[in-house]
A and B are shown apart, each in its own frame.
Chain A
Amino acid sequence: MTAATAASTDDETRDLLDLVRAAKEGDERAFEELMIATERRVARLAWRILADADEVKDAVQETFIRLFRNLRRYDESRDFFGWLFRIAVNVCRDRARRQKLRRLFFLPLAHAAQPSFDARLDEAIARRDDAALLTAAIDTLPQKERLAIILREVEELPTDEVAAILGNSAATVRVQVSNGRAKIRRWFEERGVTR
């Protein structure tokens, strides 16, 4: 990280903290700006967990409603995104559980509505679309490893923060990330994709 990007990140964190403080005081405009500043990261995280655009919309909405209701409890000494992601992960886990149940009953309809995983994968390999391939590889991981990889590698949160979000120890998170990376590499190798 260069000095310029570090300074820019510090400024962003300060701005975010100002918005959080104003929102805590009941400033609705500040809360809206806080949403604008964070909604894409929340949506991305929800998308990685839920893989359904409609579910993502609902999850993002629910996350921000919970954020608003619990904002007074936010401890400013902690990373705001870590705290926000903890809410988002809880919301997404709840929704994923319900989604799983729904799929149990409506599986044929869900398959008819979207192209199969294999078809999308073939397309991604043909295009050599790194992001799509990596996304597909991440999606094959078990949920705990998937979340650890998303939070630690994609969102670049500190290991301690990831551990707090997932309710694990930092050592467990390191193991999950390491296993996840190894599985993703193997996945690429099995499909003859080299970078």
Chain B
Amino acid sequence: MTLPFRNVRDEVPLHDRDFANIRADVMRRVSRPQRASWGWAVAAVAMLVAVVVLWPRGAEQRQPAPLIRASRTFSPRGGEKAVQVTAVPVVKVVHRPHRKARPHPAVVALAKPSVIELHTSNPDVRIIWIAR
């Protein structure tokens, strides 16, 4: 008995429309990763640019604001002299990680109490005002 295996070949349960739908789905799914990879590349470049632009500069590059120190002096005869304003030279502050931070000498100097000494007409009497 000859078995007609070739006849079974004609049997396909799908129609042309089904095959067209399958092809469309496959093409959509295989094309998507390529677009996605482009998208990822663009996003990665954008991220890199943002990081470069927004990266915090080194502390040594930033100029600290000048410190201004005002002092008033009073004459023994009373009356106030002109206020002297002096700018303290700009100090570069360098942050070194993993080191115990020590206050800068300028900061230490600022932290010292201010002393205001008032001279009265009596040379034996002076008013000393100490303020932090």
Contact = CB atoms under 8 A, between A and B. Distances in A.
B7 interface: yes
Interface in A127-181: 130-131, 134-135, 138, 149, 153-155, 181
Interface string A45-67: 00110000100110011001100
A185 B12 contact: no
B7 to A, nearest CB: 4
A74 interface: no
The secondary-structure label for the interface of chain A is helix
Given A39-B19, A56-B14, A153-B3, A61 B8 contact: no
Nearest to A33: B23
Contacts of A57: 14, 18, 21-22
Interface string B1-22: 1111111111111100011011
Nearest to A131: B7
Interface stretch (B27-35, B48-56, B66-74): B27-35
Nearest to A181: B3
A44 interface: yes
Given A28-B31, A153-B5, A135 B11 contact: yes
Given A43-B14, A194-B1, A154 B25 contact: no
B14 to A, nearest CB: 5
B26 interface: yes
A65 B26 contact: yes
A126 to B, nearest CB: 17
A68 B30 contact: yes
Contacts of B4: 130-131, 134, 195
A36 B24 CA distance: 11
Contacts of B25: 61
A165 B113 CA distance: 91
Contacts of A32: 23, 27
B13 A131 contact: no
A39 B30 contact: no
Nearest to A39: B19
Contacts of A153: 3, 5
A154 B30 contact: no
B69 to A, nearest CB: 71
A162 to B, nearest CB: 14
A43 B9 CA distance: 11
23 contacts: A32-B27, A35-B23, A35-B26, A36-B23, A39-B22, A39-B23, A43-B12, A43-B19, A44-B9, A47-B13, A56-B13, A60-B14, A60-B22, A61-B25, A64-B26, A131-B4, A134-B4, A135-B8, A138-B8, A154-B9, A155-B9, A185-B1, A185-B3
Interface of A: 28, 31-32, 35-36, 39-40, 43-44, 47-48, 53, 56-57, 60-61, 64-65, 68-69, 130-131, 134-135, 138, 149, 153-155, 181, 184-185, 188, 194-195
**Closest 6 A/B residue pairs (Cβ):** A131-B7, A153-B5, A53-B13, A68-B30, A64-B26, A130-B4
